[in-house]
Every structure is written in C-alpha cells, then in structure tokens.
C-alpha cells in the first residue's frame, strides 16, 4: 500500500490548488526562517566584532596601565636615590612617597584589570547567547527543510 497523504486526493490525483497553496506556504515559511537565521548569524558576527574590539581595548588599557605603573616605579626609584636633598624631604618622607606611588599604581592597574575582565565576560555572555540563538535557528531551519523534503517526496510519489 502507498504512503498516506495529508493532502486531499481527487480522482485525478492531488487537488492541485490545495497542493500548490501548501507548497507556497512551505516556501514562504522557509524564506522567513532562512532570513531569521541570516539575521541571527549577522548579529553573531557583529557581537564577535564587539568582543574583539573589547579585547583590543583591554590590551590597550593593560599596556597603558603597565606603562603608568612602570613610570611610577621609575619616579619612585628616582626619588629614593641617595642624592643630596635640599632639606625639603627626609628619607622617611621619600620612602612613604615611593610606597604611596607604587601602591596607587598597583591599585589603578588592578581596578582597570577588573573592569576589563568584567567587560570581556559580559561580551562573551552576549556572544554565547547569540550563538545559542543561531544554533537553535539552524536546528529549526534544518527541521523545516527535512519536513519540506519529506512533503515533496510524498507529493512527488503520489503523482
């Protein structure tokens, strides 16, 4: 016995109007789903670009912070060098100043690194969410295509 059809069959085969309407509806749904998948793929690409931009900004900030930190340490070393002072600074004052500069530079670098890490994590979460949506769309699209192929086989098998 042949396959059971969900399309009405007349004496001469399928009802052409109903079959054509059904195929048109499938094609329209496929087009919509494909556009949706392409939109999600574009969003994923855009988010990847945002993540890369944030990573680059993080690298730039890290280099800037390292330069500030290194410069601060250099100044502190210069201030702590055993040179004659004009009486304005005592060795204890210089040591405190050096310690404060190094501590401040460390704190600034740590805060910048924490901010950069949070920014990257947020961007990664956003990208993962978009990637998940895209994968879901691709699965739905594949399911729809598989259904369309089965329907087309069923339609062509009854002619």
Tens of pLDDT, residue by residue over 94-121, are 677 778 778 888 888 888 888 888 888 8
Pairwise CA distance, residues 134 & 23, whole Å:
26
pTM of this prediction? 0.39
CATH code of domain 13-154? 1.10.287
Q: How far is CA 6 from CA 17, 27, 153, 154, 157, in A?
A: 14, 18, 13, 9, 13
Q: Where are the alpha helices (DSSP H) in 1-159?
A: 16-80, 91-157
Tell me the pLDDT tens digit for each residue of 49-95: 888 888 888 888 888 878 877 776 666 556 654 444 444 556 676 67
Kindly state the DSSP code that residue 12 receives in the 8-state scheme: T
């Amino acid at each position: 016995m042949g396959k059971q059809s969900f399309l009405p069959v007349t004496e001469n085969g399928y009802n052409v109007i109903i079959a054509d309407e059904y195929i048109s509806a499938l094609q329209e749904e496929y087009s919509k789903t494909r556009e949706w998948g392409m939109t999600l793929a574009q969003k994923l690409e855009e988010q990847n670009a945002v993540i890369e931009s944030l990573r680059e900004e993080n690298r730039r900030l890290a280099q800037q912070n390292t330069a500030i930190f290194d410069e601060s340490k250099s100044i502190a070393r210069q201030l702590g060098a055993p040179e004659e002072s004009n009486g304005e600074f005592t060795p204890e004052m210089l040591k405190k100043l050096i310690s404060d500069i190094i501590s401040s530079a460390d704190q600034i670098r740590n805060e910048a690194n924490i901010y950069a890490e949070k920014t990257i994590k947020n961007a990664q979460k956003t990208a993962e969410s978009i990637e998940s949506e895209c994968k879901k769309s691709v699965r739905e699209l594949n399911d729809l295509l598989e259904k369309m192929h089965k329907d087309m086989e069923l339609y062509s098998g009854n002619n």
